[in-house]
A and B are shown apart, each in its own frame.
Chain A
Amino acid sequence: KAGVTQTPRYLIKTRGQQVTLSCSPISGHRSVSWYQQTPGQGLQFLFEYFSETQRNKGNFPGRFSGRQFSNSRSEMNVSTLELGDSALYLCASSVQGATNEKLFFGSGTQLSVL
């Protein structure tokens, strides 16, 4: 089985721009979660989608949004980028998104905001 695929791998943007990141989960997985990883804040939960519905959301401003398509692929969007949004954005998938399930992580998208 192919793993979790995130595109693009690297991205450079300037302040004020917006960006869209993509995540393709493992085939058969219906839950997709997003995490932000920074040296200062560590790994922080952004949101989780299951069957095209956002089920859980972390403590991030409204500039961070996401969606999930009928094929379980997910995108996250960050509008009006700030320097502090520079981070590694990780996507993870699981079958049902239950708390006790193993999460399969992608390699991430490294976003740099200049």
Chain B
Amino acid sequence: AQSVTQPDIHITVSEGASLELRCNYSYGATPYLFWYVQSPGQGLQLLLKYFSGDTLVQGIKGFEAEFKRSQSSFNLRKPSVHWSDAAEYFCAVGSNSKLTFGTGTRLQVTL
């Protein structure tokens, strides 16, 4: 069965600093990988997704993620964080029309 691990429960970064959120997955075949973001009291919004091809994918809001098959990782990055990026971030692996989510990483941004 597929699974997703986000080892960091909570991360604090200063505004303008770079960000990397870690995600490791377990899946038998080529995975469908996603990053979603959830602001307080809101549903989830897709940041980016990977299915095949270029292992570096660009998403919305200046985010990017790199798929590394050898490390079973799909880490999310942003070169310069804005205060509005404070939210909870979920990595997910998809199969059979359903998503299996990690436990999420809460990002706090200090000014």
Contact = CB atoms under 8 A, between A and B. Distances in A.
Nearest to B101: A43
Interface residues on A, range: 20 to 34
25 contacts: A33-B97, A42-B101, A42-B102, A43-B104, A45-B99, A48-B98, A50-B97, A55-B97, A58-B98, A90-B44, A92-B43, A99-B32, A99-B94, A99-B96, A100-B49, A100-B51, A100-B94, A102-B46, A103-B44, A103-B99, A105-B36, A105-B43, A105-B44, A105-B45, A108-B43
Interface of B: 32, 36, 41-46, 49, 51, 90, 94-104
Given A42-B102, A45-B99, A106 B43 contact: yes
A5 to B, nearest CB: 11
A103 B103 CA distance: 18
Nearest to A107: B43
A97 B94 CA distance: 11
Given A98-B97, A99-B97, 9 more contacts: A31-B97, A33-B98, A35-B99, A45-B100, A55-B97, A100-B94, A103-B99, A105-B36, A108-B43
Contacts of B41: 107
Nearest to A50: B97
Contacts of B100: 45
